[in-house]
Each structure stands twice: as structure tokens, then as C-alpha cells.
Amino acid sequence: MNKLDTNYKNTWCPGCGNFGILVAFKNAIKDEDPNNIAIVSGIGCHAKIVDYINVNSFYSLHGRALPAAEGIKLANPDLKVIAFTGDGDSLDEGISHLIHAAKRNSDITVVLHNNRLFALTTGQFTAVSVEGFKGKSTPTGAPESPINPLELLLASNATFISRSYSGNIKHLEETLKRAIAHKGFSIVEVLEPCVSFFNTTEFYNNKTYVLDDANLDSREEALKKIREWNYEENGEKVPLGVFYEVSKLPFYERVLTNKKEETVEDILKELI
Ligand SMILES: Cc1ncc(C[n+]2csc(CCOP(=O)(O)OP(=O)(O)O)c2C)c(N)n1
Ligand code: SF4
């Protein structure tokens, strides 16, 4: 048993994309001091990941992983805080938290498990489901087309925007390491098949490719790369990699710089 393993019984379906995320994340943090890490989750299949990693963790509410993570970071800026969230969790239920965490450049890493439906509740459509998706809440097909969440995050001033795939564990591990090292808000969207309700394994195996790291500080370039795939079911090419990376003072540092003489407790009292 490795030091990051726990004794919890894993209840994900065999073949679920969450396994790839679990392995890649454990690899990504294996050289970190586990006492300096806090992980947070929303609610859903993805959220069980916090039970399977032996570091400080907080199982939050559906759609509320990000405010919990931001609060932890504010209270203890020395921690590296990682929030695991689902597409239902943070693109439907908690979408305003995602936009505002990016806007204020909270120094947290968001791992977005994107299986393109509400899986734990057995297959309702989300903001990134394909148009026509037939599930529990849309038996005749979803009538809406999906949003592009990375485009939304670029518009929200996120400072690190990336995408990986649960079936490309090496790429995912490297992307997670870069996101965690980034000072400020970072997102790793992880495309993951839900083998029980929307099995995209073949599509992603065939259509994903890895971008090079050119012009990471250009919004125009980032937008072009982000728009290369707009979540169509039959898209030709699905880019993986870092789309955008810029440096900007994170939220807690801006708060603390303005209030040098006060303690974190004083600042929190004023904020609450
Ligand atoms: C406030 C609230 N609304 C609805 C639910 C019911 N619920 C639990 S898990 C879930 C689906 C989660 O979907 P997603 O975030 O996409 O994660 P996945 O299961 O796909 O990993 C829902 C709707 C809940 N627990 N709390
Ligand atoms: S329902 Fe889908 S997302 Fe949930 S554990 Fe099974 S395969 Fe994974």
C-alpha cells in the first residue's frame, strides 16, 4: 500500500474514467509533503476521489466545492488546495462559483471531471452534454447545445486553462503538476468517459491530440485553440494541453498586501 492510498472500498464502475484521474493525481503529488495539501470535492461519482487519497480532505456540497476550497486557501495560504468537481457540479449547480473563483484569481486548482452528464444520479444532461443526448431527464433528446467551459473561463480571466484526458495518464499527470505549481486560479478540464451512461472512450482515444506550448500568454491564440472543438459529438480533433497561462497576483496576496499590519484572522473578520 502506498502512503497516498486509503482503505475505502472503491465503488466506481470498472472502466470509469475516474480511475485514470486518481492514478494521475497520486503520481502528480507523490513528491509533495501531504501535510501541505488539502483536497476538496463536490458531490457525485467524481467526489468519491477524496475518499481514496490519504491527504487532508473536505467533502463539500453539490456545486460548492470551489467556495470551500477558496475558504481553505484564505484561512491557510501555505496549503496547496485542489478542488475536484464534476461538470454537473460546477457547470450547472455551482457555475457562478467557477466564474467568480476564476475572476478573483483564487489560488486553487480545479480538476473538472468532465463526463458530460450527471452520473451519480444515473444520467441527466448537463451544460456540456451533446445536443440530442438521451438520458433520464431528456428521454427524447436534449434540446440545447453545449457551452464551451474553457471559453467561459477565458472570458472570466482565469490565469491557467488546460485540458487533459483520463485515458492519457502521463499527459494528465504532467498537466496536473503544472496546474498545481501555477500561482493563481488553474483549471484542468479532464475529459473522462462514463462507461455506464455516456461511453466516449473510443471517440477520445481517436480524436484527442496534444498541443505544443506556443504563445501561452495570447488570449487570441488561446481562444482559437479552445474553439477548435466545441463539444460536438463528431468533432474531428480534440486538443489537449495548456491553452493559456499568465502571471497575476492571486486573491489572498492582494488582500494581504493591502492589509500588511493585520493578521489573517482580522482580515477574515472584515470579509465575513
Ligand atoms: C443541492 C443538490 N442538488 C442535487 C443533488 C443530487 N445529486 C447528487 S450527485 C448529482 C450528480 C452529480 O453530477 P456531476 O457533478 O456531473 O458528477 P458525476 O456524478 O458525473 O461525477 C446530483 C444531481 C444533491 N446532492 N445536492
Ligand atoms: S456511473 Fe459513470 S462516472 Fe459514475 S462510476 Fe460509473 S462509469 Fe464512473
Nearest ligand 2 atom to the CA of 123 is 1
Report the alpha-carbon distance of residue 84 to residue 100 in Å, rounded.
17
Give residue-wise pLDDT tens across range 94-151: 999 999 999 999 999 999 999 999 999 999 999 999 999 999 999 999 999 999 999 9
What is the pLDDT, as a whole number, of residue 65? 98
Cell triple for residue 208? 484527442
Look at residue 145 and give its three-state secondary structure. Answer: coil
pLDDT of 257 over the 80 cut: no
Q: What is the pLDDT of residue 15?
A: 97
> Probe ligand 1: pick from 85, 93, 122, max atoms within 8 Å of CB?
93
In contact, 73 and 107? CB cutoff 8 Å: yes
Residue 271 scores a pLDDT above 90: no
Ligand 1 lined by 89 (C-beta under 6 Å):
yes
Per-residue confidence (pLDDT) for residue 261, from 0 to 100: 53
In this prediction, residue 256 has a pLDDT band, given cuts at 50, 70 and 90, of: confident
When pLDDT is cut at 50, 70 and 90, the band that residue 269 belongs to is confident
pLDDT value of residue 98: 98
Q: What is the 3-state secondary structure (H, E, C) of 71-105?
A: HHHHHCCCCEEEEEEEHHHHHHHCHHHHHHHHHCC
Query: In the CATH scheme, what is the code of domain 18-246?
Result: 3.40.50.970
* Smallest-distance ligand from the CA of 20: 2
Convert the pLDDT of each residue in 56-83 to its tens digit: 999 999 999 999 999 999 999 999 999 9
